[in-house]
Structures are given as C-alpha cells and as structure tokens.
C-alpha cells in the first residue's frame, strides 16, 4: 500500500481523470513524488468499477483501492446489505475478508467484527478504509482465517466464509472442495468454536452438490440482483437436522421479490399441465436456480406448460415473483405460422426448445426489441409452440 497516493494532490488528480482513457493516464508526463503512472491508473480503474457496485466507497474521499480484480470479486453493496440482515449478535469472524465490503455491512448488526485476510497488503487497505468510513468496531488480522479461529481467545456468534476457487481446480463441476479454504474439510474445526456459519458461494455451485458436501444446513438463500443470480448463501447451525428451507430473493427492482420453499416439499409437490391460457408467468432467476419448479406452480395454483419448460399459466392475473405476460395467441412452431405474425421485431425467449435465440432471429429475420414477446417452448403434448405475449 503506497500511502503517497492519499495526498490531496494525487486524490484530486484521480477524481479529475475518472473519464480519461487509462492509456492516456499511463502516457502522461506526471511528476508526483513517490507514485508511478501505473499506480495512479490502477486507482482510477478500480474506483470506476466501484461507481455502481460500491457507491459508498466511490463517494467517500481518501478511499484506497486495490487492483480492479479485487473489486470485481467482492460483494456488491446490494448483496452485502442483504447478508447483513441475516446476522445478529456480539461477535462475527469474516474468515476471508478481502476488500472488506461484507465486514463493513456486518458491523452495524454485530458488536465486534474480526476481518481476516491472508494478503497483508489487502488487509492494510481494508483497515485504512474502515477508519475512513468510520467503522470502529472492525478489527483486521493479516492472517489465515482458519488459523486465527483455532488460536483466538475470542468467542464468535457467527463465522462468514467466502471461499475462492483454486486456480488449479479442473472440470466444469464446481465443488466446495475445489476452494480455498476447503470448508467441508474444516467444518469440524469451525463448528467446534462457533454455532452458526454463513458460506457464500457462486451461482456455479449446484445446490445438491453443496448439500452433499455440507452438514447441518438450515437455510439456502439464492440471491439475484435485477434477475441475475449473484450468489448463494448457506446457513449452517450446529446440530440442525430438520428440513432445509430455501429462500429466493430478487433485489434491485421496484420491490424485493421473495419466494420460499423447502426441499422436502419440492420433492413431494405435483404439477398440473395446460396449454397457454390467459396469462403466462416466468419465474425469476433465483427461483429457477433453486429448482422450485413444482412448488412455485403449486403455491400460485398455476399450470405448467411442460415438465421441463418452467413456464406457468392460468386464467387470472396474480402477483408473482418473476415476469408476467398477457397471452395474445399460441401457434405451432413452423415457418408458415410465424410469417403470418408479420413481426419485424420482438423479444425472444426459449424454454425447453432445441433452437437458439440467435438461430431463430437469423432464420425468421426477427430483430430484437419492441413490445411483442415471443416464447419458443414446448406444450404438454411435447409439441413445439410459439406463444405471442405482451408484458404486464
């Protein structure tokens, strides 16, 4: 951490050049003492990435930024604030603290937060920023989180872990054992010191795979922002052996979309099927990722179009955690029927359909956009259909 970057002269230069091309910053004849053009350029790049993702940091003077990769890998303020709403108590250990965004948002909810980060420079950066941001109840420790927990005299109500995938991990299947720290191998150590654990994983982790590797799972939170799944949160509680509750949430819209179900209920639920009726419903990405394919239809008293389409329909307009559409017409999938629609432009979605959106646009010369929505999917009889809709 080069503290010369924090001088008012260099901070002013950084703020004045946020819209300047990075290559121009690198080539400018700058004469700031003790700081290179590259270091300044890296600060500008990282700060730009914080504008929408971390507006608190972006809008606070004298924040020191790590490289842009650290910013890309950290939680957004939106998801960090959601996580903070799940904890309470006197002490929490952020075992993989990183840039410190999660620790920052945990700190108003917890009496004392301990931030562990193995990278000593990143730990120093986080400590500096916590002071600038006025978070006096966060203590930083530049060391391995597992080692800190094993040798610490502190008692913790919670441990938060955001494991990172090892660079040498191979294969498309994402497992917790591919990560650092290896949470599954260290669960006995962690649960020997703390009763509650929150683990953040990427959307690449399959829920069934996570359940096979972990024990005492009480809740799984699938968190989306503007209908894009950002992270999965696993809540573990020592000794918990009852059914697992899955909570889905879609943040960043006019209102928070929530849908909860249990894995046991999903296994027992039964789907009813129908051709498209008056209204068509598409669950948000958090629900689809969580696999609530039968319980969502059951709870809202809807019919599925097909077992693998994950589109739902009924005769009444309902509030729903996802997109809602008024069905205009349903046609068989063939060139003649599509030409009769006389559409030059439409929004296209495929569900359980063998042809990609790009291929459909090319073959039928339909541009993107407009007010018409076309769903290329499969009906209960296994027939390929196209549902023309207007979004509600």
Q: Are 121 and 223 members of one domain? A: yes
How many domains does the chain contain in total?
3
- Looking at the fold, whether 171 and 87 belong to one and the same domain comes out as yes
Look at residue 205 in the predicted model and tell me its pLDDT: 87
Q: Are residues 85 and 128 in the same domain?
A: yes
Tell whether 321 and 350 lie within a shared domain. yes
Q: Are 181 and 168 in contact (CB under 8 A)?
A: no
SS (H, E, C) 306-343: CCCCCCEEECCCCCCCEEEEEEEEEEECCHHHHHHHCC
* pLDDT tens-digit readout, 85-96: 999 999 999 999
- What three-state secondary structure class fits 53? helix
Domain ranges, residue 32 = 3-72
Strand 372-378 to strand 196-201: parallel, antiparallel, or no bridges (unpaired)? unpaired
Identify the H or E element spanning 109: none
Domain containing residue 32: CATH number: 1.10.10.1110
- pLDDT for 179: 83
Confidence (pLDDT) at 168: 57
Residue 190 lies in a domain: yes
Residues 31 and 180 in one domain: no
Residue 203 lies in a domain: yes
Domain boundary among 72, 90, 119: 72
Cα–Cα distance for residue pair 179/18, rounded to 1 Å: 35
Whether 323 and 342 map to the same domain: the answer is yes
Look up the CATH number of the domain holding residue 193. 3.40.50.150
Whether the CB-CB separation of 233 and 290 falls below 8 Å is answered with no
In the chain, which residues have pLDDT < 70? Answer: 166-173
Is 260 part of any domain?
A: no
Question: What pLDDT is attached to residue 173?
Answer: 53
In this prediction the pTM is 0.92
Q: Are residues 100 and 230 in the same domain?
A: yes
Q: Which two tokens stand for residue 219?
A: 């809740």
pLDDT of 55 reads: 96
Question: What pLDDT, in 10s, does the model give residues 40-95?
Answer: 999 999 999 999 999 999 999 999 999 888 999 899 999 999 999 999 999 999 99
Q: Quick one: pLDDT at residue 166? A: 64
């Amino acid at each position: 951490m080069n503290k010369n970057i924090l001088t008012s002269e260099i901070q002013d230069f950084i703020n004045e050049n946020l819209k300047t091309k990075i290559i121009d910053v690198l080539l400018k004849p700058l004469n700031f003492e003790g700081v290179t053009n590259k270091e300044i350029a890296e600060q500008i790049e990282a700060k730009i990435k914080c504008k929408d993702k971390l507006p608190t940091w972006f809008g606070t003077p004298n924040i020191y930024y790590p490289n842009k990769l650290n910013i890309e890998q950290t939680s957004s303020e939106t998801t960090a604030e959601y996580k903070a709403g799940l904890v309470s108590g006197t002490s929490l250990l952020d075992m993989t603290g990183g840039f410190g965004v999660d620790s920052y948002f945990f700190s108003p909810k917890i009496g004392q937060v301990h931030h562990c980060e193995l990278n000593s420079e990143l730990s120093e950066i986080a400590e500096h920023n916590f002071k600038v941001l006025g978070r006096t109840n966060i203590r930083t420790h530049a060391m391995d989180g597992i080692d800190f927990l094993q040798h610490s005299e502190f008692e913790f109500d919670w441990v938060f872990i955001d494991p990172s995938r090892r660079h040498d991990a191979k294969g498309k299947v994402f497992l917790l054992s591919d990560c650092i720290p290896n949470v599954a191998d260290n669960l006995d150590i962690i649960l020997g010191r703390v009763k509650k654990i929150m683990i953040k994983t990427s959307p690449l982790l399959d829920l069934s795979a996570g359940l096979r590797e972990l024990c005492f799972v009480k809740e799984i939170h699938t968190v989306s922002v503007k209908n894009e799944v950002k992270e999965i949160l696993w809540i573990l509680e020592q000794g918990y052996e009852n059914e697992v509750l899955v909570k889905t949430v879609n943040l960043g819209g006019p209102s928070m979309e929530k849908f909860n179900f249990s894995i046991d209920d999903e296994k027992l639920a039964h789907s009813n099927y129908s051709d498209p009726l008056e209204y068509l419903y598409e669950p948000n990405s958090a629900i689809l990722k969580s696999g609530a394919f039968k319980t969502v239809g059951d709870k809202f008293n809807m019919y599925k179009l097909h077992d693998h389409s994950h589109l739902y329909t009924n005769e009444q307009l309902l509030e729903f955690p996802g997109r809602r559409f008024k069905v205009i017409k349903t046609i068989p999938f063939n060139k003649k029927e599509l030409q009769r629609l006389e559409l030059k432009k439409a929004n296209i979605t495929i569900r359980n359909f063998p042809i990609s959106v790009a291929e459909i646009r090319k073959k039928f010369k339909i541009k993107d956009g407009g007010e018409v929505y076309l769903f290329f999917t499969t009906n209960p009889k296994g027939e390929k259909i196209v549902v023309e809709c207007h979004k509600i």
